[in-house]
Amino acid sequence: MLKKLKPIGVYRKCDWVTMTGTASAIIGILLASNGKTTYAVFCLIFSAICDAFDGVVARKFGSLKDYEVYGIELDSLNDAIAFGVLPMMIVQNLSTHNIYLFIISVFFCIAGVIRLAYFNMLSTLKKGDSKEFIGMPITCSAIIIPLVYFLTFIVAKEYRNVIFPVTLLITGILFITPIKLKKLSTREKAALSLIGIITIIITIIKIW
């Protein structure tokens, strides 16, 4: 009887890492909705750290071939929320609301979804280059948005209304531009994650 009540889904260690990133993104969206932008940016960075290491966990602990498609789909749905919706919500918080911002926000999210769907198609057809990305990965928004956010604390704070919508627009365009980018190694991902953690710690110290 209990087996029949078991929830659907696959719950490997790597999937829990992915879902932790999703939970962080949802919390970030709620924080951004309530004007807690800095904490929302922290959630974005943390989601990126989870995304960087779910693949590492999958390789370390092993993963059945049967569950490979599930992992790809789960990761993509997580990416759409964490690196599509959350960055858009952060920018909404930092910019004057007008028709241009709404159009850019919709475009950014749709471009991200297109990028993810295209990546999934290549993975399914086994046509993707394992060493290169075609189009900028949607996860790059977790580097670009926090970087611009913290830089505008130092310079050009008064121009945020222009800087953030333009950043969102350019990032969205790069998602669907057929440029080739080298995939990061595990060490490079670890270095970026360390930078993200240090950024969070320094900002928390300054806030306190």
CATH number, position 163: 1.20.120.1760
Which domain does 80 fall in, by range?
13-207
pLDDT in tens, 166-208: 999 999 999 999 888 777 666 766 777 777 777 767 666 655 5
Q: Is residue 7 part of a domain?
A: no
pLDDT in tens, 141-161: 998 998 888 888 777 677 888
> Is it the case that residue 1 has pLDDT exceeding 70?
no
Q: Is residue 150 part of a domain?
A: yes
Q: Is residue 6 part of a domain?
A: no
In terms of C-beta density within 10 A (0-12 exposed, 13-18 middle, 19 or more buried), how is residue 176 classed?
Answer: middle
Q: Is residue 145 part of a domain?
A: yes
Q: How many domains does the chain have?
A: 1
The lowest-confidence range among 9-13, 102-106, 135-139 is: 9-13
pTM: 0.86
Q: Identify the CA nearest to 101 among candidates 39, 33, 158, 169.
A: 169
Cα–Cα–Cα angle for 14, 57, 109, rounded to 5 degrees: 55
Q: Is residue 104 part of a domain?
A: yes
> Is it the case that residue 24 has pLDDT exceeding 50?
yes
**Given this model, what pLDDT does residue 102 score?**
94
